[in-house]
Amino acid sequence: MKILLINPERLINPPFGLLYIGSVLKAMGHDAELVEIPFGLTQKERSKFLDAKIREYRPRIAGITCMSMQASIAKEVVKSIKEAAKDVCVVVGGVHPTIDSHDVLSWGTDICVRGEGERTILEVVDFCNGVLGIESIKGISYRKGAEMLDNPDREAIKNLDELPPLSYELLEKSRFRNRSYSIRGFWLRCAWIMTTRGCPGRCIFCASKTMHGRVVREFSLDRMLDEVSTLKRNYKVEGLWVFDDTFTLKERRVVEFCEGLKERKIRLIWACQARVDTFTRRMAEAMRSSGCVQVDFGVESGSQKVLDYIKKDIRCEETRRAFRIAKETGMRALATVMVGLPTETEEDFKMTEVLIREIRPNFVAPFFATPYPGTELYRMAVDNKWIDISKEINWQQMEEPLMVMDMPHEKIKRMLEKLLEFNKSAMLEYLRQPRFIYDLLKVFLKYPKFLLQSVFYASRLRQKDLMNLFVNVFRKEMVEG
């Protein structure tokens, strides 16, 4: 059976959920293809793109992944597929269908997959082949006439090593051929891996537990090292991004991963995400000795009151310690920070500014606090009328705060702008790298209008606009290159 797997919008990171599902389908002998819709297309362009793919491939099933921030685009994709081929069974999975399956079914979707989909998709295929009743498939929601029905949940996969190796050949070759800024400050051909599923954190702004639970399940280190070896050998990657929610949860596992990289002589520049309260000096030294150059920490706020309110379960002193260890062991340390959190005052924000000056991150990534569906913050926002769910919400927009609370939006936006000022030298790190200059010149020759825009922004010292321009032009090049 032919199954077309669709990523509604291509971003920097690959669609791991679709990759695993595609790998399972191929391992069972099915004909699976994965397509990523180019970033930044209009609705008309997306429909034209999809129509061509459907007519060319003629799938029996179209499987779409969907995060909440992609919901509006995924809705258009479902509509386009139904218009192009009414007999195609449209299946939507991912975080948003897991959280709000009935919303997704209202788009015209045939089946929603809730939670992990690797086992569920095989039973959906059996249903489409007429050998299994839809009522017996765990972990799905579906339409039966005017009704929307929810089957019982499916248990999470306990032994992740039972899943087949990832079929990276499903991805466009440009994913590995083109360099990107996946590791901040470095311009490399990168690959991405996930070594675990689940996160024990209680953060009110995160929906990770909705998809994978709070119990952390691990792929074996041998399997992950095999995967890294394959990526290095087959795709000649220069960098590796470890995409786990919290890679540094267990010191021993991190050290053994680092020792494995050295024993196998896998030479890569790599980076990961980490919690400040689990980051240790022994761990840092092992990471640095095996090629790790960067750690991304969730700092969120410099106010202990705010940290406690959002259930981050860290102390500001732990943040200072983690950044100190990273710097002393020779790694770059990045800080993600949220502004516009509930209870946050101007005094709390001043504490955040003070903390950022103390820890001196190599890069600050500030975000507006957003109450994504499936998070505790979403429930709070609905209960307190900080958002109006009677209207369609554009979860993808990041130019304005979504929640309406006591602090005016203009003041929250100024807070974010202040944090961006800490990145004044960020662009210079790329401009010192010959490979970045070479790729930039190629892009300017291909798209002359971007050269004119960049000169305009640079002449007026509009660094934020200049950085956004570079991000968008290289996203475009990654898709078309």
- What's the confidence (pLDDT) of residue 463? 59
Q: How many CB atoms lie within 10 A of CB 252?
A: 9
Phi, psi dihedral angles at 332 (to 5 degrees): -75, 140
Question: How many residues comprise the chain?
Answer: 481
- What's the confidence (pLDDT) of residue 464? 61
> Any residues with CB less than 8 A from the CB of 52 and at least 6 apart, and which?
none
Helix, strand, coil % (nearest 5) of the chain?
A: 45, 15, 35
Residue at token pair 């891996």: 193
- What's the confidence (pLDDT) of residue 479? 46
Residue pair 64/78 in contact (Cβ under 8 Å)? The answer is yes
Q: How many CB atoms lie within 10 A of CB 428?
A: 9
Residue at token pair 């990770």: 208
Residue pair 375/382 in contact (Cβ under 8 Å)? The answer is no
Q: What are the tens digits of pLDDT across the range 117-175? A: 999 999 999 999 999 999 999 999 999 998 999 999 999 999 999 999 999 999 998 88
Q: Grade residue 472 by pLDDT with cuts at 50, 70 and 90.
A: low
DSSP SS3 for 448: helix
Residue at token pair 């006591």: 406
Q: Grade residue 481 by pLDDT with cuts at 50, 70 and 90.
A: very low
- What's the confidence (pLDDT) of residue 471? 62
Spatial separation of the C-alpha atoms in residues 150 and 242, rounded to whole Å: 34
Strand 196-197 with 217-218, pairing: antiparallel
Stated pTM of the model: 0.90
Q: Grade residue 410 by pLDDT with cuts at 50, 70 and 90.
A: very high
Residue pair 389/382 in contact (Cβ under 8 Å)? The answer is yes
> Any residues with CB less than 8 A from the CB of 160 and at least 6 apart, and which?
197, 217, 218, 219
Beta bridge partners of residue 33, listed in sequence order? 4
Residue pair 330/285 in contact (Cβ under 8 Å)? The answer is no
pLDDT more than 70, % of the chain: 92
Query: What is 300-346 written as a DSSP string?
Result: E-S-HHHHHHTT----HHHHHHHHHHHHHTT-EEEEEEEES-TT--H
Between 201-215, 287-301, 358-372, the lowest mean confidence (pLDDT) is in 201-215
Nearest alpha carbon to residue 8 among 83, 62, 87: 62
Nearest alpha carbon to residue 454 among 441, 469, 440, 439: 469
Tell me whether residue 114 is exposed, middle or buried, using C-beta atoms within 10 angstroms of its C-beta: 0 to 12, 13 to 18, 19 or more.
Answer: buried
Q: Which residue has the higher pLDDT, 96 or 444?
A: 96
Between 35-39, 73-77, 439-443, the lowest mean confidence (pLDDT) is in 439-443
Phi-psi label, residue 51: left if phi above 0, alpha if psi -120 to 50, beta otherwise: alpha
Q: Grade residue 465 by pLDDT with cuts at 50, 70 and 90.
A: low
Spatial separation of the C-alpha atoms in residues 229 and 287, rounded to whole Å: 17
Using CA atoms of 153, 159, 161, 165 in order, give the dihedral in degrees to the nearest 10: 0
Helix (H), strand (E) at residue 111: strand 111-113
Q: What are the tens digits of pLDDT across the range 358-399? A: 999 999 999 999 999 999 999 999 999 999 999 888 888 888
Q: Looking at this protein, which amino acid is placed at residue 75? A: K
Phi, psi dihedral angles at 337 (to 5 degrees): -135, 145
Give the residue-averaged pLDDT of 234-261.
95
Q: What are the tens digits of pLDDT across the range 319-352? A: 999 999 999 999 999 999 999 999 999 999 999 9
Mean residue pLDDT of the chain comes to 91
Spatial separation of the C-alpha atoms in residues 321 and 314, rounded to whole Å: 12
- What's the confidence (pLDDT) of residue 210? 87
Inter-residue long-range contacts of 75-81, CB under 8 Å, 24+ positions, other chains counted: 75/107, 76/43, 76/46, 76/47, 77/6, 77/8, 77/37, 77/46, 77/50, 78/107, 78/108, 78/109, 79/107, 79/108, 80/46, 80/47, 80/50, 80/51, 81/50, 81/54
Residue at token pair 């939507």: 92
Q: Grade residue 19 by pLDDT with cuts at 50, 70 and 90.
A: very high
Nearest alpha carbon to residue 29 among 8, 64, 2: 2
